[in-house]
Each structure stands twice: as structure tokens, then as C-alpha cells.
Amino acid sequence: MKKRKLGKGNLEVSAIGLGCMGMSFGYGPPADRQEMINLIHAAVERGVTFFDTAEVYGPLTNEELVGEALAPFRGKVVIATKFGFKPAVPGEARWSGFDSRPEHIKAVAEASLKRLKVDAIDLFYQHRVDPEVPIEDVAGAVKDLIREGKVKHFGLSEAGVQTIRRAHAVQPVTALQSEYSLWWRKPEEEVLPTLEELGIGFVPFSPLGKGFLTGKIDDKTSFSKDDFRNIVPRFTPKARKANQTLVELLQTVSAKKKATPAQIAIAWLLAQKPWIAPIPGTTKQSRLEENLGAADIELSPQDLQEINDAASKITVQGARYPEALEKVTGR
């Protein structure tokens, strides 16, 4: 597996990481724990050194899973986790509301260190911008944790360019994690140029459009009742039917390259910038193998031009999040 460096902090990671959220949360019932440990071990064996989790996934159980699975590889892998939500009300599974007060950030770091079974968090992201706490205070709290040796690198998730600049002025930001794929290209407008200017790496989540760009989902696909795609406007049957045009584009290119649509979608991201490291998630060994195969696919300038020309004629239908969720992103 090829390596990439995120930001001027020289955080080296595998070109393709593994998003672990879906193992415990978001896409239906949690997967079998031992099977997920085996999957994470298989990823390490295939050269993956970059693993993504968060306290809110589960909540808490995903960090515990990742910590247990990666304990034998301490010092050889990079684990990213996140802070910024209020703990759940007793008796409720989901967390809601923001809390990026410095004292809360420091408490979360201590708890995450224990669950992850590490001495320092490699990459600590603010999960979402907290409108009640100045980003300078957030960056200052993480700076303290870095000084204490409890955190190595500071990251932001779904932050807008003004937030990125203000945070970076207090504590250099190593990486921004945000959604980016062929069906969500908004980061290209302002975010990517800002990251390039400041020397910040980019970690796209949902590089496969929450599974849609694999070509395995159509308007007749049904999701389990606790799969969050049920509330995503872009995943209504009508939108899915309309958005098949994008999948057909990927299928056309993948046939020429003897690859799969998923591999072309990931290879396209890798070709955008040398400091981009996507984190596709999966719970299946076969999908892990498929996703990692994207690292070996070379898209020529002609291939990229063909994809961009065709994609520019396609209007993706449906918002990427329900309105209430979309309001809390991109400040």
C-alpha cells in the first residue's frame, strides 16, 4: 500500500484508510465484534495504517472495538478519533447537541485514550463546529493536549474556510475530514484551495457516496430500519433512480480499466491531490479487498478529463443530509 502525508505535520498514512463507523453504528445493527476485529486485522495485513473512529459511534463501542483490534499494532498504525458532542441522556442511545468547551475536550481525550488503549491520540478531530464555542478556544485546548503528549495532531471535520483559518492560526491543523466524492464536489469550490494554501491534508469520508457509487444500490433497494440512509433525501427511491446516471458513468469507465465502479470512484479521489487519503468504510472482507485495489489504478489525465466532462453534465438529485443536519456543517 502506498503512503501519503497529511499536512505540513508530516503525518504519514496509507493512501486509503478504513472508516470504522459502520461496524457499530449508522448502517443498521452493529456487526459481529469478532468478525470486525478480523476485518481490521485483514486491513493491517494489506497495508492499511489509517483507521477512523469517534466517541459518538456506537456511542463509545466503536472506539472500544478499534482499540481492541489495533492493540497488537500500537505504534505501527494511525488512529483518528473525534470530540464535540454532548453525552447521551441516560437511557437514550443517540447523542445530540454540541459540546466543544475546552474542559469537555480534555475529558473526552482522557476517555478516548483508555478506550483506544493508546498513550496518545494520533489525530483528534473536532467532529462538527460548535457555534457556541470560539474555534480559537477549541484549537487552544487541543494545543494543550499536544503539549502534554496526549494528542499528536489536530483535525477538523466539515468545517468551512473561515473556521479552518482561525483554528490553524492557533494550532496548525494537520487534516480536514469532510464528505467528498464524485457526487459531492462542493469542497472543490473553496475548501481544497484553502487546504492547499495552508498545507493541510484532506480525508474524504463517504468516498463511495454512502454505498451508492458501488453500483449495488438502486431505487428498489431497502435499508434496515436503523440505517440512517432512510432519512437522507439523496436516498429516496426517486432520487436513487435519477442518480443512477452517475453510477452508469463509473460503470463505463470501470469496464475500460478492468476495475469496479467503487475502485474508479476511489481512484478518482486519489488522483485529485497527493495529500488526499479517503477512508471508505465496510463490514465485508470482499469489499475491503475491492476498495484497497483502487490504490493500484492509475487514471490518466485523459481518463480524468472524460470523467469530469461527463460528470459535469449530471445533476445529482436530493440533498446529502436532512435540512437540520446540513445546517451544522461547513461553517
On whether the CB atoms of residues 154 and 124 are closer than 8 A, the answer is yes
Strand order through the sheet with 50-52: 18-19, 50-52, 78-83, 121-126, 151-157, 173-179, 201-205
pLDDT tens-digit series, residues 95-130: 778 999 999 999 999 999 999 999 999 999 999 999
- At 226 the pLDDT is 87
On whether the CB atoms of residues 246 and 182 are closer than 8 A, the answer is yes
pLDDT tens-digit series, residues 257-311: 999 999 999 999 999 999 999 999 999 999 999 999 999 999 999 999 999 999 9
Nearest-angstrom CA–CA distance, 245 and 327: 28
- Which set of grid coordinates corresponds to residue 176? 480536514
| Domains, in order of start, for the chain | 3-210+272-297 (3.20.20.100)
Catalytic (active-site) positions: 57
Q: Report which of 269, 277, 204 is spatially closest to residue 13, judged by C-alpha positions.
A: 277
Nearest-angstrom CA–CA distance, 133 and 42: 40
124, β-bridge pairs:
81, 154
Contacts of 224 (CB under 8 A, 6+ apart): 28, 29
User: What pTM value is reported for the model?
Assistant: 0.95
- Determine phi and psi for 301, rounding to 5 degrees: -55, -35
- At 323 the pLDDT is 78
Report the SS3 class of residue 190: coil
Nearest-angstrom CA–CA distance, 138 and 105: 8
Contacts of 327 (CB under 8 A, 6+ apart): none
On whether the CB atoms of residues 163 and 135 are closer than 8 A, the answer is yes
- Determine phi and psi for 8, rounding to 5 degrees: -75, -10
- Determine phi and psi for 50, rounding to 5 degrees: -130, 115
Maximum C-alpha span of the chain: 55
Query: Do you know the residue count of the chain?
Result: 331
pLDDT tens-digit series, residues 134-169: 999 999 999 999 999 999 999 999 999 999 999 999
